[in-house]
Chains A and B, each alone.
Chain A
Amino acid sequence: MKIGLEVHVQLPTRSKMFCSCPTEGDAEPNTRICPVCMGFPGSKPSLNGEALKLGLKLAKMLECSIPDTTWFSRKIYFYPDLAKNFQITQQETPVGLGGVYMLGDKPIRITRIHLEEDPGKIKRTSDGSSLIDYNRSGIPLAEIVTEPDISSPAEARKFLASLLADIRHTIDLEPDSERSVRCDCNISVGKERCEVKNVTGLKNVERALTFEVVRQTKILRAGGKIERETRHFDEERKVTTSARKKEFEADYGYINEPDLGTYHIARMASEIENKETPMEMAVRFENDYGMTAKAARQIISTDIRLAGFFEDLAAATDTETAKCLVSGVVSSNWKGFEPTKGSLDDIISMVRRFKEGKITDVECNMRVRCIMTGDEDTCRICSEDLDKIVGRALDENPSVIADYAANEKAANRIIGAVMKETGGTYSSAEIVSAVRRLITERL
């Protein structure tokens, strides 16, 4: 089985690719439009330097070779999502060619990465006519095309998740942006391939490909022939259907875009300092932290943010403690955990307490799991410990109970004492509520 992907990622610029319309803001349709992105006669595009720069950053991240000069082309097609009747894209001189992306040990070859403008959004009405919102029209996109090196739908999903994490890291994309990732998926079980167009999100890519594997396998087993064609993925029914041939008949009649000039991108790219790539990071982890190549890649390929956290934790505690924690409890609970600065700092202070001998390793692991998963049972056991600490503080200061009846501020003495004792293990809100609850119980 061979799978190749064409991944479209919206680049996080503030203005559109060929006009100054804002890329974000009013959600009402057709509020961020101008004569350029509406294709009014006489309007001319001008290239957003930031879009080009972000494209080059990704080309470098994917270890593509970058041509000396680039220019743009018009891809001519007649569909109302593009008001000009052509899309400005890159045909002959993509910003990057022939790269590679390492998915763990496995190289996935990158055919090319090019820049193009996003079309508008079409809504179909019940009578079959179209309603168009051009707010999206002209948002810069990078299209990354892979060779057919992916060997299963699950691997395709894994590849996309990993690639997106690295893209996010390289060009500072918002964490929730995977929704705006669209893929064209090429898949062949036998000799002939089919293309499933415009699939949104990682889950749907895996579903669409899985459906195709089953469909193509059935046809081949029955002695049939796979027809080379373009298919659509129906998100609701979770099936792919044959697209009407007419709609995607490729006769784009590319011409060079005469309203834009040429750009010396090799020179521009040499001035761009990319953040450390995941592969460079893996080598550094081996050297600096004495990790095995496998362990380093394991952490980094799970999530580049996990790797960053490992470094923070190693700096705050020590390498061995960080290795042990990160490869253990932190890794095993990472999936489904949405790291924030606050939650990561909480984990670090917990590990510090373990290192200082204030809590045992079992307790430390449990509390880390509570922070990461919010799992009720785990957290209840953790807060039972808090109750014990508060209870002990109340035993030592029995007068507080009576004082509290007169003035609730008396609770502050206990709150302060517990905070000092637990040193950041619990949030102040947790402590306040536990103290109030336990005093009330004893009143």
Chain B
Amino acid sequence: MDRETVIRVARSAHLELTEEEIELYRRDLEEILDYFRVLDDAPSSDDLLVNPVEVTDVLRSDEPHMEIPADTLLEDVNTYERYVRGPRVQ
């Protein structure tokens, strides 16, 4: 993997990397991708690669329903007046 790709991936993920980190992740990412090379030998298929198991026309009916109370979901979330606190944005 080349430097430019690492920088582009980092930018898409909103990460700022130092020179050392770029080099570090360049090697790490390359190693990770190498693991996947094994898939190159797997038999290929012309089918749509949407879902490995064919699932067709499964639809839900339009019935509103809440299984878990919203308050329970917010218990472990950092909130302010019920709003979820997020990062700084432009």
Cβ-neighbour of B83 out of A46, A47, A123, A261 (below 8 A)? A123
Cβ-neighbour of A32 out of B48, B58, B70, B84 (below 8 A)? B70
Establish whether residues B73 and A33, one from each chain, have CB atoms under 8 Å apart when the complex forms. Answer: yes
Cβ-neighbour of A244 out of B48, B74, B84, B90 (below 8 A)? B90
Say how far A56's CB is from chain B's closest CB, in angstroms: 12
Establish whether residues B85 and A129, one from each chain, have CB atoms under 8 Å apart when the complex forms. Answer: yes
Establish whether residues A260 and B51, one from each chain, have CB atoms under 8 Å apart when the complex forms. Answer: yes
**Given A32-B66, A34-B68, A251-B8: A122 and B89 interface contact (C-beta under 8 Å):** yes
Does B65 touch A at the CB level, under 8 Å?
A: yes
CB contacts (< 8 Å) of A122 on chain B: these are 86, 89
User: Which residues 72-114 of A have a CB within 8 angstroms of B?
Assistant: 76-80
Separation of A326 and B32 alpha carbons in the complex (Å): 71
Q: Say what secondary structure dominates the interface of chain A.
A: loop
Establish whether residues B83 and A132, one from each chain, have CB atoms under 8 Å apart when the complex forms. Answer: yes
Establish whether residues A35 and B73, one from each chain, have CB atoms under 8 Å apart when the complex forms. Answer: yes
**Given A22-B66, A78-B12, A258-B50: A46 and B88 interface contact (C-beta under 8 Å):** no
By size class, the interface of chain A is: 35 or more
Separation of A102 and B63 alpha carbons in the complex (Å): 35
Chain A CB within 10 Å, residue with most, of B48, B80, B83: B83
Cβ-neighbour of B65 out of A13, A20, A77, A247 (below 8 A)? A20
Chain A residue with Cβ nearest B8: A251
CB contacts (< 8 Å) of A129 on chain B: these are 85-89
**Given A21-B64, A30-B74: A256 and B89 interface contact (C-beta under 8 Å):** no
Chain A residue with Cβ nearest B64: A22
CB contacts (< 8 Å) of B86 on chain A: these are 80, 122, 129-132
CB contacts (< 8 Å) of B83 on chain A: these are 29-30, 123, 131-133
Chain B residue with Cβ nearest A264: B57
Establish whether residues B60 and A49, one from each chain, have CB atoms under 8 Å apart when the complex forms. Answer: yes
**Given A34-B68, A129-B88, A257-B50: A28 and B82 interface contact (C-beta under 8 Å):** yes
Chain A residue with Cβ nearest B9: A251
Does B52 touch A at the CB level, under 8 Å?
A: yes
Cβ-neighbour of A79 out of B51, B64, B89 (below 8 A)? B89
Separation of A76 and B12 alpha carbons in the complex (Å): 9
Establish whether residues A30 and B70, one from each chain, have CB atoms under 8 Å apart when the complex forms. Answer: yes
Establish whether residues B67 and A128, one from each chain, have CB atoms under 8 Å apart when the complex forms. Answer: no
Residues of A within 8 A of B (CB): 13-15, 20-23, 28-35, 38, 40, 46-52, 69, 71, 76-80, 122-124, 127-134, 244, 246-247, 249, 251, 253, 256-264
Residues of B within 8 A of A (CB): 8, 11-14, 48-52, 54-68, 70, 73-74, 79-90
Across the A-B interface, give the 6 residue pairs with the lowest CB-CB distance, nearest first. A261-B55, A49-B59, A80-B86, A131-B83, A130-B86, A22-B64
